[in-house]
Amino acid sequence: MEKILEIKKLSGGYDSIQILNGIDLTVYENEFVTIIGPNGCGKSTFIKVIFGIATFYEGKINYKNQDITGMRADNLVKKGMGYVPQTENIFPSLTVEENLQMGGLNLNKIEIEERIEKVYDIFPNIKQKPYHLAESLSGGERQMLAISRVLISNPSFIMFDEPTAALSPKF
């Protein structure tokens, strides 16, 4: 099986506060990996360092055999990666549809419209509210919107931070 993500001796944190120290991880094609641990152990920080949001100190990150160490998040999206944060994962002052359009900034109008229809099929709750401000959505609807926005870019690899937060068991 092909390696999709390979992380070697990753260290990082927030500015001068080191949270991660020498983490190794390999993710193979068609594999689901779950990182489990108590609150405050660095799970979210790990994802944020990979995605270029938290402070990278040292190590190596390869995605599909390309060095992406320290790469900006927008460039990672162009390479096919997606990230759904646990919190602050929507644009509250934009409508549902505007949030979805933000997920397709590199796409043409027709592609965006087609992909929006696909995510509406997955999450019919948000389909009913395209012109509602995102801040008016319930916690579960916000999570559906955040996941949908990432799906618009059609990523081949997605990192979720607490993906079921605020979702009903049905979803």
Whole-angstrom distance, CA of residue 135 vs CA of residue 139: 9
- For residue 165, is pLDDT > 80? no
Q: What is the pTM of this model?
A: 0.88
Exposed (0-12), middle (13-18) or buried (19+): which is 66, by Cβ within 10 Å? exposed
Tens of pLDDT, residues 48-97 = 999 999 999 999 999 999 999 999 999 999 999 999 998 889 999 999 99
pLDDT of residue 111: 95
